């Protein structure tokens, strides 16, 4: 085990949000900010103090730190090439999902702790979308566990090889599913618009209206880490064990850049869905995961026609 994967994910956060903004600026014909502007904004928040409402409790004060810590802990499960994550064991992807859920839970109850009806509304939507997207992740990882015969992130990615048209289709669909999961978990388009200022249509942004200063910086940086974390999962589909680091690192960074560009393109050409369409969209992602599961059954020869 080493920390190469963790360091690369942290390094990715230096440019990932900036690339998204630059792509959106270019496609809309605007000059836009520099690639490192989002990081500068977070650094500015880190140097400010947090303001707490008299109606909030200790939960509101500790939730941002727990949320940030949960994302860091989840990153420690992600392998890199021949190296397992700092935490690796059978069915570790189940623990990975629920470590992230722990941080999300504290963010939800912290928004309820403010006593704001708007933040409670956003918390309800956030909880719903996270619950709906969870089956897609577990079906996806369960499918690859069935395909490889292993039950941990490291062993699954180390044993994953594409050798037929069906398996290539499964790999492409899996990458697409992870992209949509990342967009949903980070409350991005088309599920949510991070730039909206209308409380009735906001999801994640309305949850953090009362957060400020250092706490808000932790929340924003944790979102960048989550994007890079999901990008690392996609990169592991293409990292072939046995390759030297000077092959693996460029592949990893290239996949992250392509992922960021994809997010920027999606947010440039897609409008946000109406609230009642979001569950249908997320269920469609679960349906794609079921297609991957069927594809794995065909590849492994375990699909038996009636």
pLDDT in tens, 243-270: 666 677 888 888 888 988 888 888 888 7
pLDDT at 53: 82
pLDDT at 102: 92
Does the global pTM surpass 0.75? Answer: yes
pLDDT at 201: 65
When comparing pLDDT for 298 and 290, which is higher?
A: 290
pLDDT at 67: 92
pLDDT at 303: 60
Q: At 71, is the pLDDT very low, low, confident or very high (cuts 50, 70, 90)?
A: very high
pLDDT at 69 over 90: yes
pLDDT at 200: 60
Residues 73-99 pLDDT 10s = 999 998 887 788 888 888 889 999 999
Spell out the domain ranges in the chain: 4-300
Weakest mean pLDDT among 106-110, 190-194, 232-236, 276-280: 190-194
Q: Which residues pair with 83 in a beta bridge?
A: 80
pLDDT at 107 over 60: yes
| Residue 298: both structure tokens together | 């065909």
Q: At 33, is the pLDDT very low, low, confident or very high (cuts 50, 70, 90)?
A: confident
pLDDT at 306 over 70: no
Residues 151-179 pLDDT 10s = 888 888 887 766 656 667 777 888 888 88
**Residue 83: phi, psi to the nearest 5?**
-110, 125
């Amino acid at each position: 085990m080493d920390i190469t994967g963790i360091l690369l994910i942290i390094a990715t956060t230096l440019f990932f949000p900036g690339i998204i903004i630059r792509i959106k600026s270019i496609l809309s014909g605007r000059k836009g900010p520099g690639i490192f502007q989002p990081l500068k904004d977070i650094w500015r928040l880190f140097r400010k103090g947090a303001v707490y409402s008299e109606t909030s409790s200790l939960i509101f004060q500790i939730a941002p730190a727990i949320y940030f810590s949960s994302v860091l802990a989840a990153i420690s499960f992600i392998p890199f090439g021949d190296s397992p994550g700092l935490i690796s064991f059978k069915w570790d992807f189940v623990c990975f999902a629920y470590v992230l859920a722990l941080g999300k839970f504290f963010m939800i109850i912290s928004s309820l702790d403010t006593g704001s009806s708007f933040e409670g509304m956003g918390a309800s939507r956030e909880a719903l979308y996270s619950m709906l997207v969870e089956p897609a992740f577990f079906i996806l990882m369960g499918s690859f566990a069935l395909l490889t015969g292993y039950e941990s992130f490291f062993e699954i990615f180390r044993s994953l090889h594409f050798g037929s048209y069906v398996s290539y289709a499964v790999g492409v669909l899996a990458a697409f599913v992870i992209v949509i999961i990342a967009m949903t978990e980070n409350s991005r388009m088309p599920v949510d618009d991070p730039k909206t200022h209308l409380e009735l249509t906001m999801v994640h942004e309305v949850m953090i209206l009362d957060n400020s200063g250092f706490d808000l910086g932790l929340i924003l940086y944790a979102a960048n880490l989550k994007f890079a974390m999901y990008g690392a999962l996609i990169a592991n589909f293409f990292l072939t064990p046995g390759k030297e680091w000077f092959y693996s690192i460029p592949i990893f960074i290239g996949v992250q850049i392509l992922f960021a560009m994809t997010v920027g393109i999606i947010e440039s050409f897609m409008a946000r869905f109406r609230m009642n369409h979001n569950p249908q969209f997320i269920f469609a992602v679960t349906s794609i995961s079921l297609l991957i599961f069927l594809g794995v059954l065909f590849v492994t020869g375990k699909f038996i026609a009636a």
